[in-house]
Amino acid sequence: MIVANRIIYLDNAATTKVNPEVLDSFNKTKNLYFANPGSIHIPGQEASRLLEKAREQILNTLGVRDHELVFTSGATEANNLAIKGYALKHQNRGKHLITTNIEHPAVLEAFKQLEQYFGLEVTYLPVNKNGVVDVNDLKAAIRKDTILVSIMAVNNEVGSINPLHEIANLLKSYPLIAFHSDVTQGLGKIELPYNELDMFSFSGHKIHGLNSSGALIKRKKIELLPLLSGGGQENNLRSGTNDVALAVSLAKAIRLENSKIRENYVKISEIAAFLKNYIASRNDLYELNSFDNPYIINFSTLTKKASVVVEALSSRGIMVSSVSACHAKEEPISYVVKALGKSDNLAHNTVRVSLSYENSLDEIKEFISVLENIIKELK
């Protein structure tokens, strides 16, 4: 077994190490404010006030006006609430939805369920060779019965960044269409036009927060059909007893990450450039699949099986991934890399290196050295 403090962890798009400040905030809150925030006694009222303070802190940090926040167990639940909740609530307006063919499974599977079980129609937009949606393709796909567009901010496998500002501007001409975005891989890493989005979803564990924390933020005027029925918590949109400590820890994680977006971006850009230059210099061994986003570097191995390479790296204390961690066990091919126009062989053999502010240039140099040795040793 590898001791945690000896590993080189380069799989931050899957999950991040919890920030000690965030964990400390969670522990203190859990000990002091353990009461149910729905209770009317004094400890319950104190917990309720803290829950609302966390809610307001997140909204203020992200600079969103006319929005409200629904705490969830993570981006998967938030995506499902946004997509299914909106589509089912407003299917009398129209039954046509639009998304892309490179969305996270939490989004794609939600749309597939709406198609299969509820009779809604979905257009899956293609992306260009850089993994980005063409706004003209979106405009051409809009119909009179279109009610929802869901396009991710940053792709979780190749890091491509979609033009959310341009998309939001286009959709201003279609007041009956709601615009949702899964911003999980962009939150705390790049500047995003949150205030221009009707709904957006994210998870805490991607920004050095805790697992099972996340949120859906939506305009107050947006109406959704709740997926969870019960006591009517979260403004009747997500029933179930709130975990105040998770909410507070999420607010803390967002404040910390947002406060150093530019500083971290500069640092990680230098590290990523070094790795990308190496990959480009060895085009006999690798092909780069990612682009301008320094947080995610995706490449395909040309002479060895990527799964074997990833396993060999893990055995030597270096943690990277192949396809998305959310579907790695079920899906042997990267549908995202395939959508870029790449061959099946390249899509079968992807390696994803995803960085955080905790990584260093020395770690990347060590990764390259170990990778070179593995490629030489594998037969």
- Catalytic annotation, residues: 326
Please give the helix or strand (H or E) that residue 320 lies within, else none. Answer: none
Q: Which parts of the chain are beta strand (E)?
A: 8-9, 67-72, 96-100, 121-125, 146-150, 178-182, 199-203, 214-219, 286-288, 296-301, 318-319, 350-354
Q: Which parts of 114-177 are beta strand (E)?
A: 121-125, 146-150
> How far is the C-alpha of 126 from the C-alpha of 135, rounded, in Å?
11
- The answer to whether the beta carbons of residues 224 and 81 sit under 8 Å apart is yes
Q: Is 354 exposed, middle or buried (0-12, 13-18, 19+ CB in 10 A)?
A: buried
> How far is the C-alpha of 69 from the C-alpha of 96, rounded, in Å?
26
258-266 contacts, C-beta under 8 A, 24 or more apart: 258/61, 258/62, 258/188, 260/357, 261/188, 261/189, 261/190, 261/191, 264/189, 264/356, 264/357, 265/189, 265/190, 265/294
Secondary structure of 65-77 as H, E, C letters: CCEEEEEECCHHH
Tokens of 211: 């697992």
- The answer to whether the beta carbons of residues 209 and 250 sit under 8 Å apart is yes
Tokens of 249: 């820890």
CB atoms within 10 A of CB 284: 7
CB atoms within 10 A of CB 321: 22
> How far is the C-alpha of 199 from the C-alpha of 181, rounded, in Å?
6
CB atoms within 10 A of CB 356: 21
Q: Cα–Cα distances in Å, from 234 out to 38, 46, 52, 217?
A: 11, 17, 10, 12
Among positive and negative, which fits the CA dihedral 255, 235, 226, 145?
A: negative
